[in-house]
Structures are given as structure tokens and as C-alpha cells.
Amino acid sequence: MTDIIIYHNPDCETSRNTLAMIRNAGVEPHVVEYLKTPPSRPLLMHLIERAGITPRQLLREKGTPYAQRGLGDERLTDTALVDAMMAHPILINRPLVVTPLGVRLCRPSEAVLDILPTPQQGAFAKEDGERVVGADGNRIPSP
């Protein structure tokens, strides 16, 4: 059994597509609805480090208090950005996926394919109809 965790927002199409691709690999992940159960500060810092990104790269702008909080200010420290994400979990971009092969912010959703330890079990198309995996279970190259 492969242990996979997805920090998920069911209202987000990208997050739903990512979850569906994990399931298309024959894996039922541990789903953490991070808006209901936000990660602790140490866990969030660990996820950021393992994903090889900065807090700014994890920061979500759309549909959040990003602008109202002045988070576009490049002078803000990583600590200040993480403080904002802890105070307003909606600022955490999603989905974050943890697998035995690494941690990835899966934007676009097919980025999850790079860290799934098991292959896709068949064709997969995103909710918008874009085909990303063929019937053979292999990734379809982007045009």
C-alpha cells in the first residue's frame, strides 16, 4: 500500500483533478481538507522545504486576503508569509501532495504524475476535458 497525502480543497478544480489522478493510479490517498484541518506551522515549513519551494511560491493570491494583507510586498520575510498562511489557511496554495517520491505543489494538476510511485491504470481527462493520460496509462505530452 502506497502512503500518499493530499492537502486538498474540494472546491478547487485543480485539486479535484489531482485527487482523481492519484486514484487513477489505484491509490486511495489520505485526504486532508486543509481549510478544515490546517497543517501546523512546523509541518507547513517541512512541506515547503521538502517541496523545494519558498513560502512565497506557496502563497495563493486568487480568492484570498492576499491584496488586503499587502502580501505582494517583496520586502516581507518568509516568516511573515508563513504567519499569514497560518492566520488565513486559504492563502496556502493547493494541492500539496506528499508521496514516497517527494512533495509537490501540483499546479498544474498533472504535476502529480511526476511523484506517483504507481503508474496510471488507464486514460484520464481533466474536468475540462483535457486529456493528460492515454489509454495505455502514459502521460500525453503537452502541445
Q: Tell me which residue of 34, 29, 93 sits closest to 64, measured CA to CA.
A: 93
Strands ordered across the beta sheet of 102-105: 30-33, 5-8, 96-99, 102-105
Cβ–Cβ < 8 Å for 114, 14? no
The CATH number given to whatever domain includes residue 140 is: 3.40.30.10
- Considering the domain architecture, whether residues 28 and 59 belong to the same structural domain is answered as no
Structural domain ending residue among the three candidates 53, 69, 93: 93
Structural domain ending residue among the three candidates 93, 120, 135: 93
Active site residue 106: no
pLDDT tens column, 109-131: 999 999 999 999 999 999 999 99
According to DSSP, the residues that pair with 21 across neighbouring strands are: none
- Considering the domain architecture, whether residues 44 and 2 belong to the same structural domain is answered as no
- Considering the domain architecture, whether residues 43 and 87 belong to the same structural domain is answered as yes
Q: 34: which 3 cell numbers?
A: 486543509
- Considering the domain architecture, whether residues 11 and 55 belong to the same structural domain is answered as no
Q: Tell me which residue of 113, 132, 45, 129 sits closest to 81, measured CA to CA.
A: 45
pLDDT value at residue 40:
97
- Considering the domain architecture, whether residues 75 and 112 belong to the same structural domain is answered as no
Percent of the chain residues topping a pLDDT of 70: 99
Catalytic one of 4, 12, 103, 133? 12
Residue 143's pLDDT band, with cuts at 50, 70 and 90, is: confident
pLDDT tens column, 68-122: 999 999 999 999 999 999 999 999 999 999 999 999 999 999 999 999 999 999 9
- Considering the domain architecture, whether residues 26 and 72 belong to the same structural domain is answered as no
pLDDT value at residue 142:
79
Cβ–Cβ < 8 Å for 85, 91? yes
Which residues constitute the domain of residue 5?
1-34+98-143
Give the chain's domain count: 2
Sequential DSSP letters for 29-86: PEEEETTTSPPPHHHHHHHHHHHT--HHHHB--TTSSTTTTTTT-TT--HHHHHHHHH
Structural domain ending residue among the three candidates 93, 108, 126: 93
- Considering the domain architecture, whether residues 56 and 71 belong to the same structural domain is answered as yes
What would the mean pLDDT of 35-51 be, rounded to a whole number? 97
